[in-house]
């Protein structure tokens, strides 16, 4: 193989391997990209992130549990809330409280079915709208 390389170098115009090596040794090293001032200011961002998203599923039993749900929302975790086993007045208070929390974090709240709600922070997008479908079925008792 070195013989083929030598023949190629002779064809290109180099007489021997020694001239080739000396030419590379005598050259000054060029500035690398990492050493440039532009590279020191640039930030590398991985666009292929696979961030893990946790969804909290909870069944609050009293109004005080709404605060824990709001804390999950503040931590940017979407929550599914099952209020089917809660008294009507308590469930209404929980939904009112969580509606305020959702508004404060610029999130979204949607009723999935009777007594089940999906609340999401601003960084989670919910595709589809259940409100029109639920209104036609009469699921919103206070609307």
- Tally of helices (H runs) and strands (E runs) in the chain: 6, 4
E strand or H helix at 25: helix 17-26
Distance (Å, whole) CA 13 – CA 40: 41
pLDDT at 136: 60
pLDDT at 143: 47
Q: Which domains can be identified in the chain, with CATH numbers?
A: 2-41 (no CATH), 56-137 (3.30.110.150)
Sheet strands (E) in the chain: 56-58, 79-82, 108-113, 116-120
Query: 116-120 and 79-82: which strand pairing?
Result: antiparallel
Identify the residue whose tokens are 């060029």.
Answer: 30
Instruction: List, for residues 45-97, the tens digit of each pLDDT value.
Output: 666 666 678 889 999 999 999 999 999 999 999 999 999 989 999 999 999 99
Contacting residues for 8 by C-beta, under 8 A, at least 6 apart: none
Distance (Å, whole) CA 77 – CA 67: 14
Question: Which residue has better confidence, 121 or 38?
Answer: 121
Mean pLDDT of the chain: 76
Question: Which residue has better confidence, 27 or 104?
Answer: 104
């Amino acid at each position: 193989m070195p013989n083929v390389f030598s023949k190629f170098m002779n064809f290109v115009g180099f007489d021997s391997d020694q001239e080739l090596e000396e030419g590379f040794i005598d050259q000054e090293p060029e500035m690398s990209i990492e050493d440039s001032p532009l590279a020191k200011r640039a930030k590398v961002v991985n666009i292929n992130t696979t961030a893990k998203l946790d969804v909290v599923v909870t069944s609050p039993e009293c109004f005080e549990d709404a605060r824990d749900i709001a804390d999950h929302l503040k931590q940017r975790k979407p929550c599914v809330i099952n209020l089917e086993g809660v008294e009507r007045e308590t469930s209404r208070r929980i939904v009112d409280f969580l509606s305020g929390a959702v508004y404060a974090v610029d999130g979204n709240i949607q009723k999935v079915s009777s007594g089940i709600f999906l609340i999401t922070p601003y960084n989670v997008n919910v595709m589809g709208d259940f409100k029109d479908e639920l209104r036609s079925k009469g699921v919103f008792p206070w609307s």
